[in-house]
A and B are shown apart, each in its own frame.
Chain A
Amino acid sequence: MKNETDLDATKILQDWSAGEEGAPEQLMPLVYEELRRLARNYLQRERADHTLQATALVHEAYLRMVDDKGMTWKDRAHFYGIAARLMRRILVDHARAHNAAKRGGLEQKLSLDEARDLPLDGVVGLVALDEALESLAQTYPRNSEVVELKFFGGLDTREISEALQVSEKTVRRDWNFAKLWLCRELTANAA
């Protein structure tokens, strides 16, 4: 399932691990394209398959772009880190464009009651969440990274612990804390 560009992705990651400069910059447009494509495909999947097929796009991108043979956890972590950030960028950009189109540029802050339902009604909330996440990163950079990897990247606890080189318990605490913090931030801004 690898196309011409995929060999590049594998090589770029390996070069990067070997200490070569500038590798992530080369990788980003490739991953960006792949993620965009996968996100599109996601919508096109059939109704009944939705629940079980809403697979983590970052995993799909990795499986599709990288030849896992000979990859170290470090390569994988690099990839996931980049992909999660790109996923965030793609999704937030689209949410922003959507908002601009639908609401004539008027962004609405999330109301208190909407907070619980954010992911379901997330078109509006995602832009606000992105901003809140920026604030979180200023004080709690690692918590913000956990959110990026989990919420945007779709990684599970074990993978995040590998990517960030912390224990799984720490990942769980960081995540729980970030949820509280972001929930409060969004609620306060909406008020």
Chain B
Amino acid sequence: MQPERAARVAEIVGRSLEVGGGERTQLIAKLCGEETELRVEVESLLNYQKKARDFMEAPAYECVAPLVVDAAPGLRTGQILGDYKILSLLGEGGMGEVYLGEDTARGRNVAIKLIKRGLGTANIVRHFRNEERILAGLNHPNIARLYGGAITADGLPYFVMEYVEGLRIDDYCRDQKMPLRERLELFRKVCAAVTYAHRHLIIHRDLKPANIRVTPEGEPKLLDFGIAKLLDPETSTVGEATMTLQAVMTPNYASPEQVRGAAMTTASDVYSLGVVLYELLTGARPYRITSRRPDEIARLIIEQEPMRPSAAVARSASDHQTSTISQQRSLRGDLDNILLEAIRKEPERRYPSVAQFSEDIQRHLEGLPVTARKDTFAYRASRFVSRNRLAVAAAAIILVTLLSGIVMTVREKRKADRRFNDVRQMANSFMSEADDAIQKGPTQARAMIVRQALSYLDSLAEEAGNDVGLQLELAAGYLKVGDVQGKPYRPNLGDTAAALASYRKAQEILQSLTAASPDNLEARQSLSLAWQSVGRVQERVGDWAAALKSQRKAVALSDALVSAHPEKSSYRSLLADNYLHLGEALYQPKRGATNADYREAIASFRKALAIHTALIALEPAHAAYRYAAGVDYEYLGIAFNLLGDLTGDPENYRIALENHGAELKINEALAASDPANGTYRRILADVYAELGNSQLKLKRPAEALENFRHTVAIFESIMVSDPSNVEARRDLANACLVTGQALVQLGDLSAALKVELKTVALNQELSLAEPANTEVRGNLISGLEAVAEILGRTGDVGGALHNYQEARSILSAWSRAEPDNASIHRLLALEETNVSRIHKQMAVSPKSVTKEPRAD
């Protein structure tokens, strides 16, 4: 055919296709004119219009790709691979072939996943070595175990996993025609398994129906936990990637951050689980994906708003037999909101954790209101910041310490590189799980933080070997974790026993370090700090003798450092701190401190003050020294108050008031210079309380009450902004106790009773959460006594008796636990006296027994 004619044929056919029927006939007649051959050719081609409609509309590779795959699988039936015998080929996944194998040593069947060549064999093996222990440690009934991994003779990596006989979760639900409720319950089991893994620092990264199997018994089993990370060479470098392998190969369940190539967190698993559940409930996917191009699909995942699940049901109705109307009705509302919250584009707007996602489903199942809302970003953001200040701060402290420390350890650079992501993940799950855990109370929050931080540190400790730098950083890490768990007088999670254990670990590391290299000054300095920390916690749990011993050790260690290097401010500052804590350990009244103890305590505080005063003279701009001097004054004041109690000499109260006055001056100046600083505000609250205490002892109740009210107001505002702050709760309880005392002195018994009942309630709550804390226990007894005394004075003898008896029962348990503690025996004897006194009173006027306003 002549090119010119060919062009005309194409032209006429093209234009004809754009019109139809009679118009087309006319067009052809007009364009072809008398050229019969041309017209025949045009009409001949147009005859094929109907046949050609679907012709070639699917890409060629769709029908041919099956042929392209090599026929020969990587492993043969009967082949022996280490301890395993290959039984059969189970199937092929994106990563390679999966075989059924027999573990000949243990007599069980296993699944063997052979990774295809070309997926970065060397990287996989390296990643696997790094992760093996963590992955193999995942031990959960709903997670398929990873038994191990190795390389075949041909150099292909393979993983040996628990063999799971079961259907994909979507097939299972469909085959069983599972009702909605059961689907949700099944899904919650999946969530529990993922939550377990997240607490072990493992993100799945590739959650999809194919990886969630259901056994014939109806138990879900998650496959391939952590495997995606091993196969993704990008995991060691963050930020560069545009698209990961996973994003290209499995975009349907991938989160927006994943297709973007951004860092994945536990929130990414929340998202993928959300899509899985969406599909289980609606039979449809959340997005209208029409394109086949991976970059298009990625764009849709990033940009397109998902359909409301109830609407998606209607769309997929043709594929399903179930009644769409009732399905739509059951999804509309809660489940719509729950699913959409799980698959929000921004990770921070999703459920903060899989556990919380699962709980919301449970709330829905129980007919309770769910937390998911149509759009709760502003609400959530504000709530997150206010409720999680402590947890976020805790995470930040640990993170900063560990990261800066570990990254600085140059020789361990490689170790640090691969740990970096673990730490990131840990921080991320802190952030996301904190919200969840704190809502359920401090017990869970601390359990979570302790578990995560310690599992990280413990695993690193095993690798530290003889590396001095890494050991120092580890010790610092344990000290910080201990601080978060229960450092006295700081916002903490109130777990003193765990704090002690963490401090002990630091101490052990440092002791062996200083023994091995006595010239390592940094280790000696840290060891001194570790003793101080240990001592303070021992003091908190009432182990007075041990506390005193620890603080004397701390002082001796730092004193030696100062003698050797008097020019170093940091050593002098540590010594001053240690003197302060030594004094604190000495003057504990519940310990049964003697006159001599108080004298030594006061001398200790004065040494601390002298060092701090000298340091302030050297560096006047250094706020920390002035703050420390304020604390010295405070402790001096407290010591003189206590000495006054012991000796009955009111001169001591006057000196105490002077010291607290000096303290107030320092702290008011500090607070004024930095109004946003919570620590200064908190300290100011203490100063007001101590001033009030001295005034109370000097029988100036009106002034005292004024100061106590300042204290109560500050602690109440701290508690409102941070409900999990156990320390603030304890402080508030103390402030209430003394406020009541001031009110009693002023003669306002009804106001005093109200305040003291609050004291008792707060302390009971604290004591329940932390039974080992003797300070709280002591305060509870003081509160009960205060209530009893007020009730006695108002004539409610029965109420008074009840409270004295309660105080007595606590004390008698305490004295049984600590038979050598003379002070407790004294207090118990006092309580016996109180109880018998009331009994005598009641014998005189038995009627009042019936009146029973109770403290609890």
Contact = CB atoms under 8 A, between A and B. Distances in A.
User: Is this pair of chains taken from one and the same complex?
Assistant: yes
Contacts of B292: 52, 54-56, 154
A102 to B, nearest CB: 10
B106 interface: no
A184 interface: yes
B243 A118 contact: no
Interface string A143-163: 100010011101010000000
Chain A contact residues, majority secondary structure: helix
A43 B93 contact: no
Contacts of A36: 68
A94 B249 contact: no
B381 interface: no
B49 interface: yes
B207 to A, nearest CB: 13
Given A55-B292, A116-B53, A183-B48, 18 more contacts: A1-B241, A1-B248, A40-B70, A46-B94, A49-B208, A49-B252, A52-B252, A63-B242, A63-B248, A118-B56, A119-B59, A123-B64, A129-B56, A140-B10, A177-B10, A182-B56, A184-B45, A184-B48
Contacts of B68: 36, 39-40, 42-43, 90-91, 94
B447 interface: no
Interface string B83-99: 00000000011101000
Contacts of B252: 49, 52-53
Nearest to A117: B54
B238 interface: no
B63 A43 contact: no
A159 to B, nearest CB: 9
Interface of A: 1, 3, 36-37, 39-46, 48-49, 52-57, 59-60, 63-64, 68, 87-88, 90-91, 94-95, 97-98, 115-123, 126, 129, 139-140, 143, 147, 150-152, 154, 156, 173-174, 176-177, 179-184, 187
Interface in B80-119: 92-94, 96, 118
A137 to B, nearest CB: 12
The CB with the most chain A CB atoms within 10 A, among B49, B63, B295, is that of B63
B440 interface: no
B740 interface: no
B739 to A, nearest CB: 65
Nearest to A126: B64
B251 interface: yes
A180 B49 contact: yes
B212 to A, nearest CB: 12
A57 B61 contact: yes
The CB with the most chain A CB atoms within 10 A, among B14, B234, B289, is that of B14
Interface string B44-72: 11111101111111111111111111100
Nearest to B58: A119
A100 to B, nearest CB: 11
A126 to B, nearest CB: 6
A39 B435 CA distance: 45
Closest CB pairs A-B (n = 5): A173-B14, A122-B63, A39-B68, A179-B52, A183-B52
B1 interface: yes
5 contacts: A36-B68, A90-B68, A116-B54, A122-B63, A183-B51
Nearest to A147: B56
B59 A64 contact: no
B329 interface: no
A151 B61 CA distance: 9
B10 A120 contact: no
Contacts of A48: 168, 170, 209-210
Contact of A177 (B45, B56, B92, B244): B45
A8 B803 CA distance: 84
A46 B53 CA distance: 29
A122 B64 CA distance: 7
B94 A180 contact: no
Given A52-B289, A177-B14, A43 B60 contact: no
A109 B49 CA distance: 21
Given A44-B94, A183-B48, A56 B56 contact: no
A94 B64 contact: yes
B56 A119 contact: yes
Nearest to B42: A180
Contacts of A52: 251-252, 285, 289, 292, 297
A120 B210 CA distance: 25
Contacts of B74: none
B1 A139 contact: yes
A1 B243 contact: yes
B65 to A, nearest CB: 4
Contact of B243 (A49, A63, A152): A63
A104 to B, nearest CB: 17
B13 A180 contact: yes
Contacts of B94: 41, 44-46
Contacts, number: 188
A54 B46 contact: no
Interface in B116-159: 118, 120
Nearest to A122: B63
A143 B234 CA distance: 41
Nearest to A42: B65
A3 B17 contact: no
B294 A55 contact: yes
Given A1-B244, A53-B250, A122-B60, A187 B51 contact: yes
A183 B54 CA distance: 11
A79 to B, nearest CB: 14
A184 B51 CA distance: 9
A119 B13 contact: no
A177 B9 CA distance: 9
A52 B68 CA distance: 20
Contacts of B242: 1, 63, 68
B248 A88 contact: no
A59 B299 CA distance: 14
Nearest to A90: B68
Contacts of A60: 248, 294
B228 interface: no
Contacts of A91: 60-61, 64, 68
Contacts of A147: 56
B293 interface: yes
Nearest to A69: B242
Given A94-B68, A173-B14, A181-B45, A151 B63 contact: no
A142 B503 CA distance: 77
Contact of B293 (A37, A55, A179): A55
A181 B51 CA distance: 11
B614 interface: no
A30 B251 CA distance: 25
Nearest to A102: B67
A39 B61 contact: yes
Contacts of A1: 233-234, 241-245, 248
B6 interface: yes
A97 B832 CA distance: 101
A97 B67 CA distance: 9
A191 B61 CA distance: 26
A119 B55 CA distance: 7
A4 B833 CA distance: 87
A180 B47 CA distance: 8
A115 B55 CA distance: 7
A102 B195 CA distance: 51
A187 B92 CA distance: 37
Contacts of A98: 67
B17 A55 contact: no
Given A39-B68, A48-B210, A173-B10, A126 B249 contact: no
Contacts of B45: 177, 180-181, 184
Nearest to A94: B67
A136 to B, nearest CB: 10
B18 to A, nearest CB: 8
Contacts of B57: 119
Contacts of B69: 39-40, 43-44
Contacts of A150: 56
A56 to B, nearest CB: 6
